């Protein structure tokens, strides 16, 4: 338990002595929508505006602010954040966030935060049409770099 001090209190792990390495993490989530919400999304008629672009920007901004949201995360100088939203049949949007940095600790939380906030933003943009929309399968799908090496989630 690296975040627990000997006295039982929590603390942020000191990564100052760790050598910087290239770190990459990819996270995904799916937002399930009603047929009406998906049609409105595709037609660009969501009342709040361009939902896909707004969610993309929100995800990028969130990945950059992860240490402000998750108490024990280190502030990292990210070198890359890419958030994509793609309509996936029959009625969902697949959100993917890829984050990279050259640093002493991983970027998994940044990728997960980016995809989570993009999904929440998409829900917010679409809720007037579909309050039953659901956010599903938010997960880390890949990470590279650091002492633990490569992680790749198997599909299926």
Bond from prior residue into 90 cis (ω within 30 degrees of 0): yes
Catalytic annotation present for 68: no
Q: How many CA atoms lie within 13 A of 104 on its CB side?
A: 10
- Angle between helices 51-64 and 108-126 in degrees, nearest 10: 150
H helices of the chain, where?
A: 35-43, 51-64, 66-69, 108-126
CA neighbor of 15 nearest in space, from 72, 64, 66, 71:
72
Q: What's the 3-state SS for 47-66?
A: CCCCHHHHHHHHHHHHHHCH
Active-site entry in 7, 14, 82, 124: 124
- Which of 121, 134, 40 is CA-nearest to residue 85? 121
The residues that are catalytic are 124
């Amino acid at each position: 338990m690296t975040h627990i001090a000997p006295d039982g209190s929590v603390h942020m792990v000191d990564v100052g002595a760790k050598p910087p390495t290239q770190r990459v993490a990819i996270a995904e989530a799916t937002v399930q929508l009603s047929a009406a919400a998906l049609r409105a999304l595709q037609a660009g008629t969501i009342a709040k505006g361009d939902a896909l672009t707004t969610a993309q920007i929100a995800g990028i901004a969130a990945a950059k602010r992860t240490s402000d949201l998750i108490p024990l995360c280190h502030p990292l100088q990210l070198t890359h954040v890419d958030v994509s939203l793609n309509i996936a049949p029959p009625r969902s949007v697949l959100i993917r966030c890829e984050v990279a940095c050259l640093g002493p600790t991983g970027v998994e939380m940044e990728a997960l935060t980016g995809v989570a906030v993009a999904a929440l933003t998409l829900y917010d943009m679409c809720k007037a049409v579909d309050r039953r929309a659901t956010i599903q399968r938010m997960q880390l799908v890949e990470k590279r770099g650091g002492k633990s090496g490569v992680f790749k989630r198997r599909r299926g």
